[in-house]
A and B are shown apart, each in its own frame.
Chain A
Amino acid sequence: MMIKKRALKNPPFQYLDHPADAKFQAFGETFEEAFAHAALAVVSLMWEPEKIIKRQRRTVLVQGKDLEQLLFKFLSEILYLYEAKGFLLASARDLKIIKHENGYSLEAVLEGDNLSSNYTIFGEVKAITYHDMIIRKNDEVLIQVVVDM
C-alpha cells in the first residue's frame, strides 16, 4: 500500500462479503484518513493503485448535506474522473473536511495517471450506493460502503 502505515488497529480497508456487489470497510484515525482509504478501496476493485504512476494531480471539492452524502459524492467523483477523463487514482492526499452551517465540504488532492495500455483494468464499479452505509467515529473512524458492480 502507498498509504503511510500507522498504528491503526485495522488495515486501511478490507472487503466484506456481499452476494451481488462489493462491500468494504475503510478505517482511519480521522475522517480525512478514512475517506482517503475509502477512495483506495473503490479503485482497488478496478486497478492496483500502487501500480499507478503519480504523474497527474487533480484538486477536487465536493459538498454534502451530511457526512454520508459527502462520502457518496467524493467517491462518485472518482468514478466520474475515471470514466469521463480517463484518470486513474493512485492516492488521495491533503484531505480537508470542514463542517459548515448546512453540511460539509471536502477538499482533496488526487494523484494518479491517465488511462493507457500500460495499466490493467480488471473490474468496473458502476456506482456508489447508500445501502448499508456506515460512517462512525469511536476511537477511530469506520466507513462502510456497498458499491454497485
Chain B
Amino acid sequence: MELKKINDYTWEIPKEGMMRVPAIIYASEKLLDTVKKDQTLQQAKNVACLPGIQRYSYVMPDGHQGYGFPIGGVAAFDLDEGIISPGGVGYDINCGVRLLRTNYREKEIIAKRRELLAEIFKEVPAGVGKGGITKLSRNVLLEILVKGAEWAVENGYGTKEDLMLTEENGRMKDADPSYLSSRALERGIPQLGTLGSGNHFLEIQKVEKIYNREIAKVFGIDEEGQILVMIHCGSRGLGHQVATDFIELMENKIGHKGLPDRELINAPIKSPLGQQYYKSMCAAVNYAFANRQMIAHWVRDVFAKVLGSSVGMRQIYDVCHNVAKIEKHKIDGKEKLVCIHRKGATRSFGPGRPEIPEIYRPYGQPVIIPGSMGTASYILVGTKEAEELSFSSTAHGAGRVMSRNEALRRFRGEQIRDQLLAKGIELQSTSLKGVAEEASAAYKDVDEVVRTSHEVGIGRLVAKVVPVGVMKG
C-alpha cells in the first residue's frame, strides 16, 4: 500500500480502487510503526469507500485496529448522499470522559486517599446498579433517554452548571427512544449509574504539569498538585444493544453486499432506517450522559463525607468518544452540514464555535484524553485549525498495542497493583485479571499521542495529570 509522507506527522494513502477519497493518518514515525503492524491502514481505506464521504478518511494519532472503522477513525458524510453506520460509532455509544476539578491539593488528601477510594468503590457500582435505581420503571428510563443528564440534574444528581459544561449540554435533542428494542431497555435498567469494566475507570488525579497557564486557569486548573477526578464510562449494555439491533436491521433491509467488511454495514442517513438509528443512538448518548452525571454526583458526596467538603468541585467538561453528530463544517470553501462519525476520537472545537460553553468560547473546547490505567492523562484545547485538518477532532486515549491475551500472558494483576503502589498510586478493582488486561504496557505511549496532536495542531496541550488513586471496574 502506498503511504505518502506529507510532513513529519501527516501521512496520506492516495485514492485507489474503490476509495472515494484519500485517507490521512496523523502519526509520528514512532506511532506509524505500530499502526503499520495491524489492520488500521486497511480499515482507514475501507472507510474511504463508503458513499458520501467528504474530504478524507482520517485516523487520529492514537489510531489502532478496530472492527469495521479503525479506532481513532473520523469520517464526515454528506447528508443527501451519505450514510450512517452503527459500526462507525461503535458499540459503546458515547463512551466518554468527565473531568471534575477540586479545591484540594495533593497534600490535603494524600493521607485519606485510600479511604476516598474505598468509599468511591462502595458508592459507584461497577457492574449492576444500586438498589432502588435498578428498579427503575420503563417510563422513567424512557424519560432518561430523552433528557439525558438533564433528567439526572432534575432528580438531584448535580447542578445545572454541570449541564452547561457537558458536550451537547448533556442531552442530544434528536433522541427518540421509541425505536429502541425492549432488549435494549432491559439491559439499560439494571446498569444505570454504573461504571462498567474493561477499559473504564474512575481516577483521583493530581495536576503534574501545566503547559498553558492562561487556558488552564479558564478550565479551572490553577496549579501543580491540584486534585481532579476523571470518570471514564459509556452507555453500558443499552448502547451495545442499540448497535447490535441496528446492525441486524440494516443487514436485513439493505444487506452487506459489496462492503469490504461486514461490520461497515450502514444505511443512507436520509432513509427511515438511517434516521431511526440516528435517533436511537442519540437516546443511548443521553443514557451515557445521565450515567456520568450520577457517578459525578456520588463522587462529590464521597469527597464531602471523607474530606468535609465538596465545594469547588466544578465540572471542567464532559466529552463523547464514540458518536455520530450533525455538524457544520467548511468543505470546498462552502459551509455545510455533515454527519461526522467519531469512533474513538474527541471533538476538538476551536475558539468561537457556538456549540461550546460560553466561558470557554474565546479559547476553545477542553479535550480530555485519558491515558491507560495508572498512567498520565492530558487536558488539551481544541483549535481553529482542526476544522480544516480533522473536522475538529483529535485523539481519545492511548490506544492499545497489545492484545488482552498477550497482556494476560505477560502480567499478573497483583504485580501491577504493587508496582502502582510503589509509584504512589492506590488501586481498587473488582478483578485482578482485569487489571492485568489493562496493564499500561499494553497501550501506546499516551505522551507520544498527545505530542503528535499538539504538533499537528488538532488539539494543543494544556495540562498533564497523573493518578493518585484508581478505581477499575
Could you tell me which A residues sit within 8 Å of B by CB distance?
A: 15-23, 65, 68-69, 72-73, 76, 79-80, 83-86, 115, 120-124, 126-133, 146, 148-149
A80 to chain B, nearest CB (A): 5
Tell me which residues across on chain B come within 8 A of A132, comparing CB atoms. 67
* Bound CA span A127–B245, Å: 11
B358 to chain A, nearest CB (A): 36
Could you tell me which B residues sit within 8 Å of A by CB distance?
A: 38, 64-68, 71, 87, 90-92, 127-128, 183, 186-187, 189-191, 196-199, 237, 240-241, 243-244, 247-248, 251-252, 256, 261-263, 265, 400-406, 430-431, 433-434, 437, 473
- Are A83 and B68 CB-contacts (below 8 A) given A19-B402, A115-B128? no
Tell me the nearest residue of chain B to A46, going by C-beta.
B197
Tell me the nearest residue of chain B to A146, going by C-beta.
B67
B200 to chain A, nearest CB (A): 8
**Contact for A20 among B64, B186, B406, CB less than 8 A:** B64
Tell me which residues across on chain A come within 8 A of B196, comparing CB atoms. 124
Check B38–A123 contact: CB distance below 8 A. no
- Are A20 and B405 CB-contacts (below 8 A) given A84-B187, A84-B237, A126-B198? no
* Bound CA span A76–B430, Å: 24
Tell me which residues across on chain A come within 8 A of B252, comparing CB atoms. 65
28 pairs of residues in contact across A and B, judged by CB atoms under 8 Å: A16-B403, A16-B405, A17-B406, A19-B65, A19-B403, A20-B65, A21-B67, A21-B404, A65-B251, A65-B252, A72-B244, A76-B244, A79-B240, A80-B183, A80-B187, A84-B183, A115-B128, A121-B430, A123-B197, A126-B240, A129-B67, A129-B87, A130-B247, A131-B263, A148-B67, A148-B91, A149-B198, A149-B404
- Are A18 and B431 CB-contacts (below 8 A) given A80-B241, A126-B91? no
* Bound CA span A17–B65, Å: 12
Tell me which residues across on chain B come within 8 A of A15, comparing CB atoms. 405
Tell me which residues across on chain A come within 8 A of B265, comparing CB atoms. 130
* Bound CA span A84–B187, Å: 5
B103 to chain A, nearest CB (A): 34
Check B244–A122 contact: CB distance below 8 A. no
Tell me which residues across on chain A come within 8 A of B191, comparing CB atoms. 83
Check A83–B187 contact: CB distance below 8 A. yes
Check B434–A127 contact: CB distance below 8 A. no
Check B241–A73 contact: CB distance below 8 A. no
16 other A-B residue contacts (CB within 8 Å) besides A124-B473, A148-B91: A16-B403, A19-B65, A19-B402, A69-B248, A73-B248, A83-B237, A84-B237, A86-B128, A121-B197, A121-B430, A122-B433, A124-B127, A124-B196, A127-B91, A129-B263, A131-B262
5 closest Cβ pairs, A-B complex: A131-B67, A122-B431, A130-B262, A84-B186, A17-B403
B412 to chain A, nearest CB (A): 13
Tell me the nearest residue of chain A to B435, going by C-beta.
A122
- Are A123 and B190 CB-contacts (below 8 A) given A129-B263, A148-B67? no
* Bound CA span A85–B71, Å: 31
- Are A68 and B262 CB-contacts (below 8 A) given A123-B198, A127-B244? yes
**Contact for A72 among B92, B183, B248, B406, CB less than 8 A:** B248
A63 to chain B, nearest CB (A): 10
